Structure 1
Amino acid sequence: MRQSGGPRLVERVRGLAAGGERVLIGIAGCPGAGKSTLAGRLATELTAAGLPAVWVPMDGFHLADVALERLGRLRRKGAIDTFDGHGYLALLRRLRHETGTIVYAPSFDRDLEQPIAGAIAVPPEARVVVSEGNYLLSGEEPWPEVRAAMTEVWYADLDDRVRLERLTKRHVRFGKTPEQAVRWVAEVDEPNAAAIRATRASADLHVDIDALALSP
C-alpha cells in the first residue's frame, strides 16, 4: 500500500492505537531517503493530535568508533554489522511492554558522529514510539525479530537522484570534503542502499516522501 498525506498517516496510527497498547512504528529506507525527517514530523503531528509520541532513532545503536576501529569496520560505518541489533531489539521489547515507567533510549549526535546513551526519555504516557533505520526489514538476524517487535514498518520512498544529492550534501555538512562525500556515498552508502531496497516489498506501507514535501 502506498500513502503520501501526513494527516492520513496520523489517522492510520490512530487506528493502530485504538486497542490501547503502545504502538511502535518503524520507518525503513535507503540512506538519505528522509526517514529521520519523516519520523520527527510524524511524532510531532501525533502528539499535536492527542497521541503522545516519541521519536527513538535506530542510529542510537551505532557501534561507537572505538568499537568499529577494534573490529576493523570503521571505514564502512553504516553497514548492517556496524549496529548493535540485539541491543536495539531489547529496547524495542522494553518500549512495547514496559509502560509503567520511563524508558531511556540512546540518540545519535551527527556532529560527533557518535551514539549518546540515555538521551531520550520515553514516559509512560507515550502512546506511540516512532523509530527509523536502514535495516528494519532485513532478513539477517536479529532484524526479523526487530520487525516482529514493531506494530508496523513503513518504507520511505524518494527519487534516487534527489536522495543522492541530499545524502552527499549531508556528508559535507557534517565534515567531509565534497570529494570524500562522493566517494563515501559510492563505496559505502550505495552498496547498503542496494540491500535495503531489496527489502522494500515487505513493508506494511510505502510512504512517498516527495509528496509529503519534507525539508531535510
Structure 2
Amino acid sequence: MKTYTVAEAAARIELLSERTSGAPFLLGVVGPPGAGKSTFAEKLAVPILPMDGFHFANEHLDRLGLRNKKGAPGTFDVEGLASTLRRLRAGETVVVPRFDRAIDAAIAGAVLLPGDAPLIVTEGNYLLHDNAGWGAIRPLLDEVWYLDINDDLRRDRLVARHERYGRSEADAARWVTEVDEPNAVLIRTTRQRADAVVAAS
C-alpha cells in the first residue's frame, strides 16, 4: 500500500487530470466520519460524486426503523450508487443527488458529472466495505485512497458539525459516541483494502 503526503496526492491528481482519452478515471476517497473527505475532495478541483447524496430519505429510514442509525451502511441506496458508477465507467454523463446537511436530506438532480471528464472523485465512508451490497462498489473504482486523521481531532470536528446543524452539545456528543464511532470502527477495518493512505489534517 502506498502512503501519500497531501502534496504527493495533489501531484497524483494533477497527473490523472491530464488524461485525454477514455471514460473518467474513478478515484474513491474513503475515511471515517469527520476525516475531512468532502473538504479534501473539494480541494482537488475535479467533479465529485458524493456518496452522501445516496442517503435514503428520512421517511424511508423510518419505514426501515433506521432513522436513529442514519449514516450506517444500511441507510444508503448502494444499488443507486453502483448504477451511477457503472454509467460513469461507460462514459455517460450523469446527474446525481447531493446531501444538504442544513435540511438533513438529499437533493435530487443537483450535481452534473460529465462522461468525458478525465477524473471523477467519489468520496464516502463505505467505498471499501464488502457487506450488505457494498462489495459491488470497489470493483467499479480505479483507485481508492484512505484518509488517516487523528481520532481526537476527528471526533471534535464531528461534535462541532452536529452542533452547527442544530443539535445541542449533549446530543451532538451522544450521536458521535453512539452512531458515528461504531461506523468509524467499521470503516477502519477496511483500511487495508485501500490503494493508498493519505495523511489528513
The TM tier, using the shorter chain, reads: over 0.9
Q: 2:42 aligns with which of 24, 40, 53?
A: 40
The CA RMSD measured in Å over matched residues stands at 1.5
Query: Which residue number corresponds to residue 11 of structure 1?
Result: 11
Structure 1 Cα separation of the partners of residues 95 and 187 of structure 2 = 28
Note the 1:18-167 alignment, pairs <5 A.
18=19, 20-21=21-22, 22-42=24-44, 44=45, 53-99=46-92, 102-167=93-158
Mean Cα deviation higher: 18-27 or 70-79: 18-27
Q: 2:88 is aligned with what amino acid?
A: L
What are structure 1's unaligned runs of at least 5 residues? 45-52, 211-216
Q: Whole-Å Cα distance in 1 between the matches of residues 6 and 179 of structure 2?
A: 32
Count of aligned pairs between the two proteins: 198
Shift of 1:11: 2.9
What is the CA-CA distance between 1:15 and the residue it aligns to?
4.3
Whole-Å Cα distance in 1 between the matches of residues 81 and 116 of structure 2?
21
Q: Answer whether contact 2:16 2:119 (CA < 8 A) is retained.
A: no
The alpha-carbon distance between structure 1 residues 206 and 147, as it changes in their structure 2 partners (threshold 3 A), is: same
Query: Could you say what secondary structure the match of 1:56 adopts?
Result: strand
Contact map agreement 2:20 2:118 (CA 8 A) in 1 = no
Deviations 1:155-186 (A, max 9, x none): 01100010000011000001100000000000
Structure 2 residues not aligned, in runs of 5+ = none
Secondary structure of residue in 1 paired with 2:131 = coil
Give deviations 1:63-95, integer Å, cap 9, x for gaps. Answer: 000000111100110000000111100001111
Conserved 8 A contact 2:88-2:115? no
- Distance in 2, matches of 1:29 and 1:173, equals 21
Alignment match, 1:213? none
Distance 1:146 1:124 in 2: 18
Conservation of the 8 A alpha-carbon contact between 2:128 and 2:138: yes
Amino acid in structure 1 at the alignment position of 2:155: L
Give identity over the alignment, percent: 44
2:199 counterpart letter in structure 1: D
Cα distance, 1:145 vs structure 2:
1.8
TM-score after normalising by structure 2: 0.93
Counterparts of 1:5 and 1:190, CA distance in 2: 25
Q: TM-score scaled by structure 1?
A: 0.87
